[in-house]
Amino acid sequence: MKKKIAAMVLGFYLTGAFGVAYASPNSTSNVGQIEDKATSPASTTEDGVQVSIVAIKDTAGVLPDSRFYSIERKIEQLQIAITRSEEKLSAVKAQLATERAAEAVIMSDLGKEELAGRATTEYMEVLASAAEHINNAIEAENEAVQTLDALNEAYRRSEDILKIIKSRSLRKAPGQLLKTH
């Protein structure tokens, strides 16, 4: 009976582990890029960067006019709450700012200017917060380097002091250091 259960578990594991194929995000093929350029309109920004509408829609995710938008926002808040590192928090907020910018573009295209305005305001706030967190990370790193330098200096001083104590104690009682109580 145990052998059958072990065989079934192994079968499920192998089927689950090797039965599903996922597309690689780092594909060397440019077929998808050619299709996107051919089938979707692209807009050019002031600096000459072409951005396809499909790419913007993919970045935006759930839109503010969706009934699931509040759920997505709660998940984002949870993601922010559980992120501890200043660097990672900055990266999360930068990604969220990008989503807000994409939402603003789409809402503006749909003629929903109020939602586009809110998304733009949130974009600026979240991006400023991301910049603040990366600055905090840089300051914390500088403080950590200073603390490490101080710790190294204290270690060096204590090593010098121990050498002095050792040399004095060897002069006073050379045989006493080897005896234990």
**pLDDT for 6:** 63
Burial class from Cβ neighbours inside 10 Å (0-12, 13-18, 19+) for residue 67 reads exposed
| Confidence (pTM) | 0.56
- The first and second tokens of residue 94, run together, are 């930068």
Report which residue type is found at 96: L
Report the first-to-last Cα separation within the chain, whole angstroms. Answer: 64
Q: Locate tokens 């990604």: which residue?
A: 95
pLDDT tens digit at each of 181 positions of the chain:
666 666 665 555 555 544 444 444 444 444 444 344 434 455 545 555 556 667 777 777 788 888 999 999 999 999 999 988 888 999 999 889 888 888 888 888 889 989 989 998 999 999 899 999 999 889 888 888 888 888 899 889 988 888 888 887 777 765 655 555 5
Residue 64 DSSP class: T
